Amino acid sequence: MFVYKSLCEERFSIVQFTTFAPNKEEIMPYRRLPTTDKARMRALEAAFKKTTLKIGDKIAISIPFIEELKLVKERFTNMLTHYELNIKIQSERNQEYKTAMENARMYISHFIQVLFLTSERGEINGGIKYYELKEFEGKVPPLNTEEEILYWGKKVVEGEQKRIQSGGSAIYNPSIAMVRIKIEQFNDAAIFQNNLRRNTSRSFDKMREMRKITNDFISRLWSEIEENIISDDAKIKRQISQEYGLIYVFRKSEKKNIPAKEFVKEMQRDLVFDFGS
């Protein structure tokens, strides 16, 4: 017998099914809460779809839960859309950031190499001191990180200006003007990318909290659905619950105790929503 608990009236609507009591203790699967955002959306959508049935149809979700479902679904959808948009923008602009970084690194490196060669030929009369590069003994300093590129970019620009002001001749190929342009472009790209990272990080923190809130709600919602679907046959109850988005799985230890043919039938019937969604 299957009893569908009416949530709008103080009575029960009863629908008869031909069921057979099991001859042995039934192995019960357990509910599996969503672990991905897509799975959470499927669970919310499945339950929400049931609330849109025509008037007169019985559903296993009470009015207060329906209202909360609408609110949670809307909040989760909006926050997920915002989070995915931030990730997309950061990813798209990351290539521009990398390009600007490589250009700045290349121009600074080439300028320093030309500077060392000029110094080696004795053409700048000890002017290497203006760049704070003496300790590197003719080698280009590390330019691996954003901080190192901006630091040494600033040093070579300031050093070239001081050397020229002291009567030295400007270095070309590349000129310090081109080096400065590449550094400024990279600096702007770095500021923008860091802002995007902060936005994405904030969205991630909010999304992480929203996932917890959503899973807590789904757990309560599924308990509500199971409570309001009463059947003498646990399998029928699970099948009806799956129409509302509930997911059931068997534990490894339980799978071993189910005959192969019976387990296949269980998987086909009990997990139809999981595999079909």
More confident residue, 109 or 22: 109
Percent of the chain whose predicted confidence (pLDDT) is above 70: 79
- What is the per-residue pLDDT across 245-276, written as a single tens digit (0 to 9) for each? 999 987 766 555 555 545 445 444 444 334 33
The alpha carbon dihedral of 234, 26, 224, 221 has a sign of negative
| Residues in a beta bridge with 15 | 2
Residue 8 in tokens = 């709008």
User: Tokens representing 116?
Assistant: 């060392």
Q: How far apart are CA 225 and CA 244, in angstroms?
A: 8
Q: What are the b/e assignments for 157-172, b being 16+ CB within 10 Å? A: bebbeebeeeebeebe
Is residue 96 within 8 Å of residue 188, measured between CB atoms? Answer: no
What pLDDT does 21 receive?
Answer: 39
Kind of pairing between the strands at 229-231 and 2-5:
antiparallel
pLDDT, tens digit (0-9, with 9 covering 90-100), for 143-177: 999 999 999 999 999 999 999 999 888 999 899 99
Establish whether the linkage from the previous residue to 64 is cis, with ω within 30° of 0.
Answer: no
pLDDT for residue 231:
84
